[in-house]
Structure 1
Amino acid sequence: MNSSNLDSVFISQRTSLLRTLLKIVKNTSIAEELVQETYLRVARTVRDKPIDHLEPFLFQTGRNLALDHLRRERMQSRTMLDDVPNEVVEAVAAPASSSEDSLHAARLLQHLGSALDQLSSRQQRIFVLSRLHGMSASDIAAELGVSPSTVQKELKLIMALCVTLIERLTPAQ
């Protein structure tokens, strides 16, 4: 399969591929970007090895990219920012902040690290799996052999500890 065959298949299937990806990501501009990324990925693959069934490969590549996009979005939405009040988030030093703000942020991270060190090993594991690996409460529960409600309660306690610590160390404005 050469690139001219890819071009003809892509052009004939572009609209259908776009509709398929739009159903998955529910955003026209993202679906358009994924269609273009699909073409680039398939073109790279075709250059390296022949693809016998190009049309299904094109659609599968597009679906995989769309699902990867949704996973990344879900991971980003599971940040600690969801659990912290806006005032606290706004008080965290920006990258181009003054040295005083940077010092405060470094101190805050150090205290937060110390607070997390005081958690039980199970609580630390729950925190890491949830906030760093983006796992759901039910997945964490299955991995640790506890109930999902136990994981949710532990996460609530951990987040409350973090918020309390941040509020205590962040000066009122």
Structure 2
Amino acid sequence: MTAPATTFDAFCRAEQAMLLRYFRRRVGRDAAPDLVQEAFMRVLRSGAFDRIDYPRPYLLRTARNLVFERSRRKAREGAVLYPFDETCDAALPPEQMRRMVELDIRRAFRPTLLAMRPRTRRIFLMSRLRQQTYREIADELGISVKSVEKHMTRALVRCRKAFAARYA
């Protein structure tokens, strides 16, 4: 380590060449002088020069931080942000996966589904397999949303009982 610096001006003159080489290797010739000045300004503004005996390690840490900040800033500037539109960009499960789930539901709950009234079964399958909303189901069948809710409640009660009996 070097001896403690007496004045900030002497410290700058002693460390300037080393710091300039450091920045040139990392960010290039054009940006290096500006970063040297910024590093010295940060050390001076922080008040660390007057408080510590050996300011060179503090200066080097400041220089390293400046390089990190610069690279982060460049990465942010180069990033392109696109607005997210949930109606168009939402992830959809693959068709094959949906088909597998459909087959599993039909296989596991086949006896339960067959025991349901035809309209209840149809509403349940429209909701679970076609993933239609209650409003869409009601509009398609010409019934109220309240009726769809009642049919779904009946179907879900039957499914829960069948599941409990099967896996209990």
Q: TM-score range by the shorter chain?
A: 0.3 to 0.5
Does 1 or 2 have the higher relative contact order (CA < 8 Å, sep 6+)?
Answer: 1
Larger-gyration structure (1/2):
2
TM-score, L = length of structure 1 = 0.43
Higher helix share: 1
